[in-house]
Amino acid sequence: MTYRRVIALCALVAVHGSCAGSPTSPSVVTDARPAVAAARPVDAAPAVISPDARIFSFIDVLTPPVSWYTSASRFELNPDGTFVLQYPHGDYRGRYREVDGGVQFDWDGSSVAGPWGATGSIDRDRLIVHYNLIMQLSDFEDAVYVRQQ
């Protein structure tokens, strides 16, 4: 009896996930603070917040296949400890801490399912980012970025 319930629940989750997460960019569910800036045209270059920022752009040769919006994304790590993950449709912001080559991202956004979370590592000119399950279920994809500036 329990086995059938588990199968039914998995089928329901799979059907809901396939409908809710079709090929769109990461969904935005936030708390009271807005996490997404106004959308900009897809072909417009994202603005750099700080001239001293380290900019890391997505690199496809080091990342498994991802959605179009991830391949157009980039991270901006600012000297004041803030960051911006920039997508063609808008920005996700927060604060970051670096310890021994590791990076902990604390997001301004969140989900009703739980807190957003991501970790990363910086190896020379590469930023490797891994999202927690909550963010992965909101269409964020693990990726590798290479430093541009």
Give residue-wise pLDDT tens across range 109-147: 999 999 999 999 999 899 999 999 999 999 999 999 999
- Of all residues in the chain, what percent carry a pLDDT higher than 70? 67
Q: What domains lie within the chain, and their CATH numbers? A: 26-147 (2.40.128)
Using the predicted structure, report yes or no on whether residue 21 has a pLDDT greater than 70. no
pLDDT category at 85 given cuts 50, 70, 90 is: very high
- The CA distance from 81 to 77, in Å, is 7
- The CA distance from 31 to 23, in Å, is 24
Identify whether the C-beta of residue 141 lies closer than 8 Å to the C-beta of residue 135: no
User: What confidence score (pLDDT) does residue 26 get?
Assistant: 62
Give per-residue burial for 39-55: e unless 16+ CB within 10 Å, then b: ebeeeeebeebeeebbb
In terms of pTM, does the model score above 0.95?
A: no
Average pLDDT for residues 104-108, to the nearest whole number? 97
- The CA distance from 92 to 11, in Å, is 32
